[in-house]
Structure 1
Amino acid sequence: MLYLVGLGLSDETDITVKGLEIVKKASRVYLEAYTSILLVDQSILESYYGRSIIVADRETVEFDSNDPSESNELLRYAATEDVALLVVGDPFGATTHADLVLRARHLGIPVSTVPNASIMSGIGACGLQLYNFGQTVSMVFFTDNWRPASFYDRVRENRQIGLHTLLLLDIKVKEQTIENMMRGNKVFEPPRYMTVGQCARQMLEIEEEKGEGVYGPDSLAIGAARVGGRNEKFVAGTLKELCDSDDALGPPLHSMVLLGRRAHELERDFARGFAVDKETWDTLWARDYGKQDAPAAPQTDDNAEEKEDAKVQASL
Structure 2
Amino acid sequence: MFYLIGLGIYGWKGLSVEGLNACKNADSMFIETYTNIIQKEYIIDLEKTINKKIRELSRDDVETKSEELFIDKSKKSDVCLLVGGDPLTATTHIELLRLCKEKGIKFKVVHAASIYNSVCETGLHVYKFGKSCSIPFPEPHYNPTSFFDIIEQNQKIEAHTIVFLDIKKDQDKYMTISEGLNILLNISKEKKSFFNDNTKVIGIARLGSPDQVIRYGSVKELLNFDFGKNPHILIVPKMGKIEEEYAKELYS
Cross-structure match for 2:188: 207
User: Which one-letter code corresponds to 1:32 in the other structure?
Assistant: E
**Cα deviation, residue 20, structure 1:** 0.4
Q: Please, which of 234, 238, 246 is the counterpart of residue 270 of structure 1?
A: 246
Q: Aligned-residue CA RMSD in angstroms?
A: 1.5
Q: Is the 8 A contact 1:9 1:88 kept in 2?
A: yes
1:121-167 Cα shifts (integer Å, max 9, x gaps): 11111221111111111111112432111212221211111111001
Q: Is the 8 A contact 2:35 2:91 kept in 1?
A: no
In structure 1, stretches of 5+ residues that fail to align are: 64-69, 175-188, 276-316
Cross-structure match for 1:299: none
1:4-47 Cα shifts (integer Å, max 9, x gaps): 11101123322110000100111111011111023543211211
DSSP 3-state at the match of 2:93:
helix
Q: Does 1:161 align with 2:142?
A: no
DSSP 3-state at the match of 1:222:
strand
TM-score of the superposed pair, with normalisation by structure 1: 0.75
Q: Distance in 2 between matches of 1:48 and 1:147?
A: 44
**Cα deviation, residue 104, structure 1:** 2.3
Q: Please, which of 173, 176, 180 is the counterpart of residue 192 of structure 1?
A: 173
**Closer, same or farther in 2 for the Cα pair 1:110/1:61, shift >3 Å?**
same
Q: Does 1:227 align with 2:223?
A: no
DSSP 3-state at the match of 1:221:
strand
**Cα deviation, residue 222, structure 1:** 0.3
DSSP 3-state at the match of 1:90:
coil
TM-score of the superposed pair, with normalisation by structure 2: 0.93
Q: Distance in 1 between matches of 2:51 and 2:13?
A: 13
Q: Which has the higher strand share?
A: 2
Higher RCO by CA contacts (8 Å cutoff, separation 6 or greater): 2
Q: How does 1:14-93 map to 2 (within 5 A)?
A: 14-39=14-39, 40-63=41-64, 70-72=65-67, 73-93=69-89
Q: Distance in 2 between matches of 1:60 and 1:32?
A: 9
Cross-structure match for 1:11: 11
**Cα deviation, residue 81, structure 1:** 1.6
Cross-structure match for 1:2: 2
Q: Is the 8 A contact 2:134 2:147 kept in 1?
A: yes
**Closer, same or farther in 2 for the Cα pair 1:11/1:95, shift >3 Å?**
closer
**Cα deviation, residue 103, structure 1:** 2.3
Moved over 4 A (4+): none
1:97-129 Cα shifts (integer Å, max 9, x gaps): 112222222222222100000111111112211
In structure 2, stretches of 5+ residues that fail to align are: none
Higher-Rg structure is 1
What is the aligned length?
249
User: Which one-letter code corresponds to 1:139 in the other structure?
Assistant: I
**Cα deviation, residue 172, structure 1:** 0.8
Q: Does 1:114 align with 2:110?
A: yes
